[in-house]
């Protein structure tokens, strides 16, 4: 007996990571996708222009905190899987105003869990057993690591969020675990490293530096730039999430990373060097680097131990940081119109 194609309800599919997942699913699998997205400032249908005309792609503009809209989406689409990516995700914005983060990341996750639970509990047994709810989270829920340390976050690292964004994501993770243990909803959680790649909203470090440099603007670096982040190409993240949909263990957590730790200042300098090569100017781009006052509660270091997903599910990243960053810089230099429209 052949297995019917997946029908995946994905939240936040017009955002940076979500759109990469949608493109991956439509272009590289036989799955059908319903993208539920509110289209806030960081979500844009332009991110999906490559797949928007596919008969396997559908779009619903809705707030995930709207339970009635979610119930209609589940009833109409009849998903086999849910992939929950919708989230407010910019730390600086969460510091300036946490309300949107509480609304989307916590209340929205609760409403989605409830809609999924009500839908799942009325499914025939075989479909209920095959159903999966994959919740996409962040390494920031673990807090921070010492700068000079071999430690990395594992799936058993205690939660210690230190800003409103990471606290809201930690809250969502706890809700997902509770809905699994209390109600039996077949959930899986992923915690990922910092993502980078094409279609990332220009407020994030890598696109901000690229676009500011091309415009001749200062390249702001918090503090001394010694903070360390672990970088994961968004296309690798998309393939990892598809792996979780197919093979992840219900009730389990998987860290997703590519073992690419870099200091922020080194990332900025590398972008400048790539731009010197790809878009040369009379003077080096690094002259634009400007150190600015550090943000409140800035975590020193993140690092993901992704050995579990590699060992248990046979997933491995395909992009080196050198290759991925070069392709990313090149994409932004060649897609200035997209940057102007969304920025």
Q: Is 139 a catalytic residue?
A: yes
Q: Exactly one of 140, 144, 236, 261 is catalytic; which is it?
A: 140
Is residue 144 part of the annotated active site? The answer reads no
- From the candidates 24, 142, 165, 302, give the one annotated as an active-site residue: 165
Angle CA 109–112–116, to nearest 5:
140
Alpha helix segments (H runs only) across the chain? 16-28, 67-77, 91-96, 99-101, 109-120, 125-130, 164-183, 205-214, 234-247, 264-278, 307-313, 321-334, 336-342
Q: Which helix (H) or strand (E) holds 189?
A: strand 187-192
DSSP 279: S
Look up residue 269 and give its two tokens: 């300098």
Of 37, 88, 139, 261, catalytic: 139
Distances (CA, A) of 173 to 92, 109, 253, 277: 21, 9, 10, 42
**Rounded Cα–Cα distance for residues 283 and 56 (Å):** 49
**Pair type for strands 261-263 and 228-233:** antiparallel
**For residue 252, with 0-12 CB atoms within 10 Å meaning exposed, 13-18 middle and 19 or more buried, which class applies?**
middle
Query: Is residue 8 a contact partner of residue 79, using CB atoms and an 8 Å limit?
Result: yes
DSSP-assigned beta bridge partners for residue 301? 228
CA distance 185 to 73: 18
Cβ neighbours of residue 45 under 8 Å, at least 6 residues apart? 14, 39, 52, 59
Instruction: At 220, give phi and psi (nearest 5°).
Output: -70, 130
- Is 140 labeled as catalytic in the residue annotation? yes
DSSP helix/strand/coil, 153:
strand
Q: b or e along 31-60 (b: 16 or more beta carbons within 10 Å of the residue's beta carbon)?
A: bbbbbbbbeeebbbeebbeebeeeebbbbb
Q: Helix (H, G, I), strand (E, B), or coil: what is residue 82?
A: strand
Catalytic residue set = 139-140, 165
């Amino acid at each position: 007996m052949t297995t019917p194609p997946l029908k995946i309800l994905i939240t936040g599919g017009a955002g940076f990571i979500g759109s990469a997942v949608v493109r991956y699913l439509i272009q590289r699998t036989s799955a059908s996708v319903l993208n539920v997205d509110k289209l806030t400032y960081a979500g844009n249908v332009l991110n999906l222009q490559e797949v928007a005309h596919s008969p396997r792609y559908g779009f619903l503009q809705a707030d995930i905190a709207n339970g009635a809209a979610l119930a209609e989406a589940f009833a109409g689409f009849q998903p086999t899987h849910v992939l929950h990516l919708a989230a407010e995700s910019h730390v600086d914005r969460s510091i300036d105003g946490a309300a949107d983060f509480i609304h989307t990341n916590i209340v929205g996750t609760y409403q989605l869990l409830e809609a999924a639970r009500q839908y799942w509990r009325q499914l025939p047994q075989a479909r209920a057993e095959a159903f999966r709810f994959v919740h996409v989270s962040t390494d920031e829920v673990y807090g921070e690591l010492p700068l000079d340390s071999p430690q990395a976050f594992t799936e058993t690292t205690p939660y210690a969020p230190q800003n409103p964004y990471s606290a809201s994501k930690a809250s969502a993770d706890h809700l997902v675990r509770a809905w699994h243990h209390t109600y039996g909803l077949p959930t899986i959680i992923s915690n990922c490293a910092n993502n980078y790649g094409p279609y990332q909203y220009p407020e994030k470090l890598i696109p901000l530096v690229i676009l500011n440099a091309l415009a001749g603007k200062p390249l702001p670096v918090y503090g001394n730039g010694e903070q360390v982040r672990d970088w994961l190409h968004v296309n690798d993240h998309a393939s990892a999430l598809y792996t979780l949909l197919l093979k992840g263990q219900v009730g389990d957590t998987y860290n997703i990373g590519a073992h690419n730790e870099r200091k922020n200042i080194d990332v900025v300098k590398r972008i400048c060097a790539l731009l010197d090569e790809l878009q040369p100017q009379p003077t080096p781009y690094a002259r634009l680097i400007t150190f600015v006052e550090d943000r409140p509660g800035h975590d020193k270091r993140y690092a993901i131990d992704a050995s579990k997903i590699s060992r248990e599910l046979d997933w491995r990243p395909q992009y080196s940081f050198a290759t991925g960053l070069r392709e990313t810089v090149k994409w932004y230099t060649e897609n200035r119109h997209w940057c102007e429209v969304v920025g």
